[in-house]
Structure 1
Amino acid sequence: MSELFSEAWMQSFMEQWNAESELVDALAQIGFSSVIGYGFEGEEQPRGVISVENGQATAAGSFSGQALNWDIRCSEAQWKKWIAKPPGMMGLGMAFTSGKMKFKVGDYASMLKDPRMAAPFIKSFSVMGKA
């Protein structure tokens, strides 16, 4: 397995993302397009980035200064825990309110209030487990 959020890992994540019709189709229905950064808490920049256009991942790799719509941070241990056993809505909510998950960019609260976005966000964790 490649190092979490490395170039190779992000490429694998993109392939798995696009192979998951439940994720792609749900995001396509709402016209979701974003650049999403993933990284570790305490670091200045995210490590990996995935670009999504109408639900389809179109590019992925190491962060290189891209403008982000979302920048999601957790400890490495927390990421690995969720990759091994994807969280549900309650688990993510608890992680956010307790500070285990941070959004440096993006509005977590508004996303969770919209089930059309919340369900695919949760699904993305199970896709990470396949990367």
Structure 2
Amino acid sequence: MADLFSAEWMASFQNAWNAEPDLSGELAKIGFNSNIGYGFKGEDAPRGILVVENGVATSAGAYAGQPLNWDLRADAATWQGWISKPPGMMGLGMAYTSKKLQFAVGDYAAMIKDPRMAGPFMKSFSVMARV
């Protein structure tokens, strides 16, 4: 398996994202466009980026300074735990309040209150488990 959030891993995540209608399809319905960074707490920048246009991941790879709409951070053990067993809504809420999951960019509270975004956000963790 490729290193978590490496260019190779992100490319596989892009393919898995686009193959999941409950993620890409639902986000397409709301015209979701974002640059999403993924990385580790304590690092200056995310390691990987996923570019989403109208719900579809159009590119993915190593982060190279692109502007971000979202930047999700957790420690390596937490990410690996979520990949082994994707979290539910309560688990992610607890991870956010305990700072195991951090948003260096983006508003978790606003996103999670919007069911059009909350469902796909939850689904993204089960899609990560397929990579």
Question: TM (normalized to structure 1)?
Answer: 0.99
Aligned twin of 2:105: 105
* Pairing 1:8–2:8 present: yes
Q: Measure, in 1, the Cα distance between the counterparts of 2:90 and 2:31.
A: 26
Aligned twin of 1:82: 82
1:119 alignment partner, SS class: helix
Aligned twin of 2:115: 115
Letter matched to residue 4 of structure 1: L
Q: Measure, in 1, the Cα distance between the counterparts of 2:21 and 2:102.
A: 27
Structure 2 gaps of 5+ residues are none
Question: TM (normalized to structure 2)?
Answer: 0.99
Aligned twin of 1:45: 45
Aligned twin of 1:71: 71
- After TM superposition, which residue ranges in structure 1, 4 or more long, deviate above 2 angstroms? none
Aligned twin of 1:30: 30
Q: Measure, in 2, the Cα distance between the counterparts of 1:22 and 1:49.
A: 20
The alignment-based identity, stated in percent, is 63
Structure 1 gaps of 5+ residues are none
Deviations, residues 6-60 of structure 1 (Å, cap 9, x unaligned): 0000000000001111111110111100000000000000000000001000000
